[in-house]
Amino acid sequence: MSAAKYAELGTFLRSRRERIRPADVGLPAGPRRRVPGLRREEVAQLAGASVDYYNELERGAGSQPSEQMIASLARALRLSADERDYLYRLADRPVPVQGGPASHVHPGMLDLLERMSSTPAQVITDLHVTLVQNPLAVALLGDQSGYRGPRASFVHRWFTEPEARKLYPEADHAYQSRSFVADLRAAAARRDAKDAEVGSMIRTLRGVSPEFAALWADHEVAFRREDRKRLVHPVIGLIEVNCLNLFSEDGRQRLLWFTPAVGTDSAGLLELLAVLGTQEVSAATRTAGSSPRRQG
């Protein structure tokens, strides 16, 4: 990065920080706030960065931010898609293709996600790439942030990696497989016929998974708008939940949130999950053999 780009990067970050009200990102305004917008330490917290590192960025110094850090800053600062792309270019990083794990999250969905503090929720793409999770979703489903390339899609992992299926009881695997394929066909139809991302995914799965190929040949098509799921948690066992979806206008992203299934003890189990927190759950997940932070 040139000195000029470092300086512009710092100026741009500061300008975006100063326009955001604390309430926009779920923070209290506080009686002694003397600066417009967010404080530097608040942006660092929202982006998962150290305060010292973020301070250096705003001063036009420090090391070149990674693509993951740029994506986190764009979400923390509620950047538009054009602003997000501009930030990538200032940092001399390639603008990620739409649909990957660094995709720009629709600001409205991000706002809704952060207001869902009492229920597991996450934003995924139409190809089931997880973009962002709240702490309860991490505790329930595991941290999905470490996957790259084709493996970023849970559908891809479902048909290529046996470990992915541990999330559901074995008796539910056939139903989940059929639902995933029908949902993928609906997503593919909604995209442009020449879309390289979904085309490559379908060709790969048909080539490596006989199960996927057989289901694809059935031509079933249906978006997963709502579903009742049984999830297997490594610490607290089987949890039955309702999974609800809110789709973005173009259908490329969806907000998923999970509520206790009526007539089960899932409400109490989800409360227990909140008490356990993500640290213990992540450790238990690693012990159980999951490796969500492996790189593709």
Burial class of residue 114 (count of CB atoms within 10 Å of its CB; 0-12, 13-18, 19+):
middle
Higher pLDDT, 113 or 250: 113
Q: How far apart are the C-alpha atoms of 123 and 160, rounded to whole Å?
A: 23
Q: Average of pLDDT values for 2-14?
A: 89
Phi, psi of 39 (to 5 degrees): -80, 160
Question: What residues does 246 pair with on adjacent strands?
Answer: 255
pLDDT tier for residue 114 given thresholds of 50, 70 and 90: confident
Percent of all residues in the chain with a pLDDT value above 70, rounded to a whole number: 88
Q: Are 159 and 211 in contact (CB under 8 A)?
A: yes
Q: What was the pLDDT predicted at 62?
A: 78
Structure tokens at 220: 């079933």
Report the range out of 19-28, 133-142, 187-196 with the highest average pLDDT.
Answer: 133-142
For the full predicted model, state whether its pTM sits above 0.75. no
In the predicted structure, residue 293 carries a pLDDT above the cut 50 = no
Q: What was the pLDDT predicted at 200?
A: 92
Coil vs helix vs strand at 247: strand
63-68 contacts, C-beta under 8 A, 24 or more apart: 64/1, 64/91, 64/92, 64/93, 65/91, 65/93, 66/93, 67/93, 67/94, 67/96, 67/102, 68/102
Q: Average of pLDDT values for 118-132?
A: 92
In the predicted structure, residue 109 carries a pLDDT above the cut 70 = yes
Structure confidence by residue, pLDDT tens digits, 219-270: 999 988 888 999 999 999 999 999 999 998 878 889 999 999 988 999 999 9
Q: What was the pLDDT predicted at 188?
A: 92
Structure confidence by residue, pLDDT tens digits, 27-80: 776 667 666 788 899 899 888 899 999 999 999 887 889 888 998 898 889 888
Selection from 91, 76, 78, 72 nearest residue 10 by Cα: 91
Alpha helices in the chain (DSSP H): 3-18, 40-47, 51-58, 67-76, 81-90, 107-115, 135-141, 154-160, 173-190, 196-208, 210-216, 266-287
- Its sign, for the CA torsion 17, 57, 84, 103, is negative
Residues 6+ apart with CB under 8 A from 66: 93
Q: What was the pLDDT predicted at 288?
A: 40
